[in-house]
Amino acid sequence: MTNNESQITNYESRIYIAGHRGMVGSAVWRALEAKGYSNIIGKTSKELDLRNQQAVTDFINNEQPDIIIDAAARVGGILANNEYPYPFLMENLQIQNNLIDAAHKADVAKFIFLGSSCIYPKFAPQPLKEEYLLTDSLEPTNEWYAIAKIAGVKACEAIRKQFGKDFVSLMPTNLYGPNDNFDLKSSHVLPAMMRKFHEAKATNAPVELWGSGTPMREFLHVDDLAQGVIFAVENILPEHLYNVGTGTDVTIKELAETIQSIVGHKGEIVWDSTKPDGTPRKLMDSSKLRALGWSPKFSLNDGILDTYNWFNSHQSDYKKVVI
């Protein structure tokens, strides 16, 4: 628990999770249910288009949630960010601005905004601290998404500063886990590798991976992030921005070899050095949130095994796993 005033946990609180069917939103939903929260609200994108300001305003006014968790975003890896810069910028701005503004105007008690470690400068000192935000230029391959998320962080900070409301931003490191996106055109590095090794496993065919394998990345199981969100739900956090990570990182090559071993692929790994590496290193300093009482539980090996088990158990529902 925090050293600051702690909220009285009310398991009847109306909690709206934006993006409840995504990897993060579904993990938060599972974690809330497991703790006994019984009044959780979710709407699919067909039921509620979060890019539509009037629709979002009407929904928030009608539902009157006590807490909003914004886990909705247009997301993707280097390839998707490079090919679709405008929707990655504009759609994310629309989604978060509509939710934040509607929550503020409806006097929602608590708003938890979820972002990404890509908000920090490309060459910021390691590990990344919250105060490094806006101190240098961004990584060009995902700056469109990053700029949108930075705007969300600053909007929540502005509301907190001007109106004293409990709007807080959590910035997770690279996430993975159940309900991840395994589409090779739009997925992030870990699920993309998992699918490639899985598909090559039967014949042990070579697997080609992007870049040199030398960049270092930190990975957090989505269920650990979900516990961080619950921590923010149940406590009044003293600052507006918190990193959420494990505090350890591995090279992309080490990640690939770990996934290859868990999947059981015996073939060669071929690195295509003509493809971009992205940021050379991205390790987050999560000491502020850890000092308040949150900590991750999954090791990387156990988390990857858990994710691969989920992947295998959903092969019959292939539209969820592979596009």
Q: How many CB atoms lie within 10 A of CB 238?
A: 13
CB 92 within 8 A of CB 145: yes
- Tokens 């969300």, residue located: 152
Q: Is 145 a catalytic residue?
A: yes
Binding-site residues from annotation for NADP(+): 19-25, 114-117, 149, 172-175, 188
CB 255 within 8 A of CB 213: no
Phi, psi of 317 (to 5 degrees): -100, 65
Q: Which of 265, 149, 254 is nearest to 212 (CA)?
A: 254
Binding-site residues from annotation: 19-25, 114-117, 149, 172-175, 188, 196, 210, 217, 277
- How far, in Å, CA of 50 to CA of 179, rounded? 21
CB 289 within 8 A of CB 168: no
What are the strands of the beta sheet with 40-41, ordered from one edge? 40-41, 15-18, 67-70, 110-114, 166-172, 241-244
Active-site residue, selected from the candidate residues 37, 120, 145, 176: 145
SS3 44: coil
- How far, in Å, CA of 30 to CA of 10, rounded? 17
Is the bond leading into 127 cis (omega within 30 degrees of zero)?
yes
Binding-site residues from annotation for substrate: 196, 210, 217, 277
Rg (CA), the chain: 19
Residues annotated catalytic, as ranges = 145
